[in-house]
Protein backbone atom coordinates (compact mmCIF):
# COMPACT_ATOMS: atom_id res chain seq x y z
CA UNK A 1 0.00 0.00 0.00
CA UNK A 2 2.79 2.41 0.88
CA UNK A 3 4.56 1.64 -2.39
CA UNK A 4 1.50 2.58 -4.44
CA UNK A 5 1.16 5.90 -2.64
CA UNK A 6 4.81 6.80 -3.14
CA UNK A 7 4.73 5.91 -6.84
CA UNK A 8 1.69 8.17 -7.32
CA UNK A 9 3.58 11.04 -5.72
CA UNK A 10 6.54 10.48 -7.99
CA UNK A 11 4.35 10.47 -11.09
CA UNK A 12 2.87 13.85 -10.09
CA UNK A 13 6.29 15.48 -9.80
CA UNK A 14 6.37 18.04 -12.67
CA UNK A 15 10.16 17.80 -12.93
CA UNK A 16 10.15 14.01 -13.15
CA UNK A 17 12.77 13.57 -10.41
CA UNK A 18 12.89 10.40 -8.39
CA UNK A 19 15.02 11.72 -5.52
CA UNK A 20 14.96 14.82 -3.37
CA UNK A 21 18.64 15.43 -4.11
CA UNK A 22 18.02 15.25 -7.85
CA UNK A 23 15.07 17.63 -7.57
CA UNK A 24 17.13 20.08 -5.51
CA UNK A 25 20.01 20.03 -7.98
CA UNK A 26 17.65 20.48 -10.92
CA UNK A 27 15.90 23.42 -9.22
CA UNK A 28 19.24 25.06 -8.39
CA UNK A 29 20.43 24.72 -11.97
CA UNK A 30 17.12 26.13 -13.24
CA UNK A 31 17.43 29.03 -10.79
CA UNK A 32 20.94 29.69 -12.05
CA UNK A 33 19.85 29.51 -15.69
CA UNK A 34 17.04 31.97 -15.07
CA UNK A 35 19.18 34.25 -12.89
CA UNK A 36 16.99 33.87 -9.82
CA UNK A 37 18.00 33.74 -6.19
CA UNK A 38 18.31 30.28 -4.65
CA UNK A 39 14.97 28.71 -3.84
CA UNK A 40 12.87 31.39 -5.54
CA UNK A 41 11.75 29.18 -8.45
CA UNK A 42 10.65 26.37 -6.14
CA UNK A 43 8.57 28.78 -4.05
CA UNK A 44 6.87 30.51 -7.01
CA UNK A 45 3.23 30.14 -7.83
CA UNK A 46 2.46 29.49 -11.51
CA UNK A 47 1.18 33.04 -12.03
CA UNK A 48 4.49 34.45 -10.69
CA UNK A 49 6.70 32.48 -13.07
CA UNK A 50 9.26 34.65 -14.85
CA UNK A 51 8.57 35.54 -18.44
CA UNK A 52 11.63 34.68 -20.48
CA UNK A 53 11.70 35.86 -24.06
CA UNK A 54 12.78 32.86 -26.11
CA UNK A 55 12.88 33.34 -29.85
CA UNK A 56 12.25 29.73 -30.84
CA UNK A 57 12.08 26.13 -29.65
CA UNK A 58 15.72 25.47 -30.50
CA UNK A 59 16.77 28.21 -28.10
CA UNK A 60 14.47 26.79 -25.41
CA UNK A 61 15.94 23.32 -25.86
CA UNK A 62 19.48 24.70 -25.77
CA UNK A 63 18.78 26.62 -22.54
CA UNK A 64 17.21 23.56 -20.92
CA UNK A 65 20.10 21.33 -21.95
CA UNK A 66 22.62 23.91 -20.70
CA UNK A 67 20.88 23.92 -17.31
CA UNK A 68 20.96 20.12 -17.18
CA UNK A 69 24.65 20.05 -18.11
CA UNK A 70 25.41 22.71 -15.47
CA UNK A 71 23.55 20.62 -12.92
CA UNK A 72 25.48 17.49 -13.88
CA UNK A 73 28.84 19.27 -13.73
CA UNK A 74 27.94 20.76 -10.32
CA UNK A 75 26.97 17.30 -9.10
CA UNK A 76 30.32 15.95 -10.31
CA UNK A 77 32.25 18.78 -8.61
CA UNK A 78 30.46 18.25 -5.31
CA UNK A 79 31.15 14.52 -5.40
CA UNK A 80 34.69 14.35 -6.80
CA UNK A 81 35.89 12.46 -3.72
CA UNK A 82 33.42 9.61 -4.39
CA UNK A 83 33.51 6.88 -6.98
CA UNK A 84 30.92 8.01 -9.51
CA UNK A 85 29.43 6.13 -12.40
CA UNK A 86 27.50 7.73 -15.23
CA UNK A 87 24.31 6.25 -13.76
CA UNK A 88 25.07 7.94 -10.39
CA UNK A 89 25.50 11.29 -12.14
CA UNK A 90 22.34 10.76 -14.20
CA UNK A 91 20.31 9.90 -11.09
CA UNK A 92 21.67 12.99 -9.36
CA UNK A 93 20.23 15.24 -12.08
CA UNK A 94 17.06 13.23 -12.84
CA UNK A 95 18.06 11.94 -16.27
CA UNK A 96 18.50 8.49 -17.72
CA UNK A 97 22.04 7.34 -18.37
CA UNK A 98 21.59 7.44 -22.13
CA UNK A 99 19.98 10.91 -22.02
CA UNK A 100 22.89 12.26 -20.00
CA UNK A 101 25.38 10.65 -22.38
CA UNK A 102 23.70 12.10 -25.48
CA UNK A 103 23.31 15.51 -23.85
CA UNK A 104 27.04 15.75 -23.12
CA UNK A 105 28.07 14.40 -26.53
CA UNK A 106 25.75 16.80 -28.37
CA UNK A 107 26.79 19.89 -26.43
CA UNK A 108 30.47 19.40 -25.76
CA UNK A 109 31.63 16.42 -27.77
CA UNK A 110 32.83 14.69 -24.60
CA UNK A 111 31.30 11.93 -22.53
CA UNK A 112 30.34 12.50 -18.89
CA UNK A 113 33.25 10.25 -17.83
CA UNK A 114 35.72 12.39 -19.80
CA UNK A 115 34.39 15.55 -18.15
CA UNK A 116 34.60 13.87 -14.73
CA UNK A 117 38.22 12.88 -15.38
CA UNK A 118 39.11 16.44 -16.41
CA UNK A 119 37.49 17.82 -13.24
CA UNK A 120 39.44 15.33 -11.13
CA UNK A 121 42.72 16.20 -12.82
CA UNK A 122 42.04 19.91 -12.34
CA UNK A 123 41.38 19.27 -8.64
CA UNK A 124 44.62 17.26 -8.38
CA UNK A 125 46.52 20.11 -10.05
CA UNK A 126 45.11 22.59 -7.50
CA UNK A 127 46.05 20.28 -4.61
CA UNK A 128 49.56 19.71 -5.95
CA UNK A 129 50.24 23.42 -6.32
CA UNK A 130 48.72 24.49 -2.99
CA UNK A 131 49.74 21.73 -0.58
CA UNK A 132 52.48 19.31 0.45
CA UNK A 133 50.15 16.32 0.59
CA UNK A 134 51.59 13.00 -0.59
CA UNK A 135 50.49 11.85 -4.05
CA UNK A 136 48.39 9.07 -2.51
CA UNK A 137 46.31 11.62 -0.59
CA UNK A 138 46.07 13.92 -3.60
CA UNK A 139 44.78 11.01 -5.66
CA UNK A 140 42.23 10.09 -2.98
CA UNK A 141 40.99 13.69 -2.59
CA UNK A 142 40.64 13.99 -6.37
CA UNK A 143 38.58 10.78 -6.43
CA UNK A 144 41.15 8.45 -7.95
CA UNK A 145 41.64 5.05 -6.40
CA UNK A 146 45.30 4.58 -7.31
CA UNK A 147 48.29 6.90 -7.69
CA UNK A 148 49.08 5.21 -11.01
CA UNK A 149 45.74 6.42 -12.41
CA UNK A 150 46.56 9.96 -11.29
CA UNK A 151 50.03 9.83 -12.86
CA UNK A 152 48.77 8.38 -16.15
CA UNK A 153 45.91 10.87 -16.49
CA UNK A 154 48.01 13.83 -15.35
CA UNK A 155 50.78 13.07 -17.85
CA UNK A 156 48.25 12.65 -20.67
CA UNK A 157 46.43 15.91 -19.83
CA UNK A 158 49.32 18.21 -18.84
CA UNK A 159 52.40 16.58 -20.39
CA UNK A 160 54.24 16.09 -17.08
CA UNK A 161 53.97 13.78 -14.07
CA UNK A 162 52.40 15.09 -10.85
CA UNK A 163 55.72 14.94 -8.99
CA UNK A 164 57.56 16.87 -11.71
CA UNK A 165 54.69 19.39 -11.86
CA UNK A 166 54.99 20.02 -8.12
CA UNK A 167 58.77 20.46 -8.42
CA UNK A 168 58.36 22.96 -11.26
CA UNK A 169 55.74 24.94 -9.30
CA UNK A 170 58.03 25.10 -6.27
CA UNK A 171 61.05 26.10 -8.38
CA UNK A 172 59.03 28.84 -10.06
CA UNK A 173 59.67 27.52 -13.58
CA UNK A 174 55.97 26.83 -14.13
CA UNK A 175 52.76 28.48 -13.07
CA UNK A 176 49.51 26.64 -12.45
CA UNK A 177 47.98 28.13 -15.61
CA UNK A 178 50.92 27.04 -17.82
CA UNK A 179 50.06 23.39 -17.32
CA UNK A 180 46.71 23.64 -19.10
CA UNK A 181 48.24 25.04 -22.29
CA UNK A 182 50.70 22.17 -22.72
CA UNK A 183 49.62 19.08 -24.60
CB of 118 closer than 8 Å to CB of 129:
no
Per-domain boundaries in the chain: 18-39+58-109, 116-181
Tell me the average pLDDT across 135-155: 93
Of 120 and 67, the structure prediction assigns the larger pLDDT to 120
* 50, pLDDT greater than 60: no
Give the mean pLDDT of 128-157: 92
Q: Is 45's pLDDT higher than 60?
A: no
pLDDT value, residue 35 = 56
Question: Between 175 and 178, where is the model more confident?
Answer: 175
**Whole-number Å distance between alpha carbons of 70 and 76:** 10
> 153 falls in which pLDDT band (50, 70, 90)?
very high
At 15-26, the pLDDT tens digits run 555 566 666 666
Rounded Cα gap, residues 12 and 9, in angstroms: 5
Class for the domain spanning 116-181: mainly alpha
Amino acid sequence: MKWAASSKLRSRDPLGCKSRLGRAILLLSMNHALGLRAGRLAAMRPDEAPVVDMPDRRQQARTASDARILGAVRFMQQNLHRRLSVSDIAAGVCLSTSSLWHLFKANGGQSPKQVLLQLRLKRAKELLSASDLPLKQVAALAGMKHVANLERGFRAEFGVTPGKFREQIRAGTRSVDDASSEQ
